[in-house]
Amino acid sequence: MLTQIHSILYWVNKKDPLGPKLEHPENDPQFSLWETPVRKWAENQHIREQTMSDIPKEYDDVHKPEYAPKITVISPTQNAIYNPQNIMNIQVSQQSKFGLEQIDFFLNGTYLGSSNAAPFNFSFVPASVVEISNPVKIGGSVKATLKIIAYDKVKNKTETTVPIRFSQ
């Protein structure tokens, strides 16, 4: 989107507000009374009008799928059953072409927190998360989903989920 600051009369035909923009809005007798102060304000704010030449023409060779960070969850493991009253330690291994910047952690869609420094591990007490109070029960355990989103320094991201179970 290009930055272009104008009065409403530049963008909207006052006789047909839902219709197309006028081809020559400057022909409206009120146009200069509205447009001039808006343009002066934009100039005083040092807002530079952008044109089609401001649109990037280069190829983005940084934000490619193959450059997304790679995350492997070491702990918790999928087949174990965890006590929701105990501290759960999340441990990951990661690889990133541009260096990892942050990992966000979620349990059943509830944001738990972030880690911004290597080794990017995280700890929490599952019982403190409201969403596991209405759990999906499987046999003698409660099913939950741990989601991990990792961002590198150029904002490439990857997401992984791990099904985990808690004792009741």
**Token pair in block for residue 136:** 């999906």
**Domain residues of the chain, as ranges?**
8-54, 65-167
| pTM score of the predicted model | 0.65
pLDDT exceeds cutoff 90 at 40: yes
Q: Torsion over CA of 89, 90, 91 and 93, rounded to 10 degrees? A: -170
Only one residue has tokens 């972030």, namely: 114
Stretch (H or E) spanning 163: strand 157-167
pLDDT in tens, 97-114: 999 999 999 999 899 999
**Token pair in block for residue 158:** 């990857």
The CATH code belonging to domain 65-167 is: 2.60.40.10
Tell me what the mean pLDDT of segment 8-35 comes to: 91
Tell me what the mean pLDDT of segment 70-75 comes to: 94
pLDDT value, residue 130: 64
Rounded Cα–Cα distance for residues 22 and 91 (Å):
59
**Token pair in block for residue 144:** 């939950």
pLDDT value, residue 134: 53
Window from 44-48, 134-138, 147-151, 155-159 with minimum mean pLDDT:
134-138
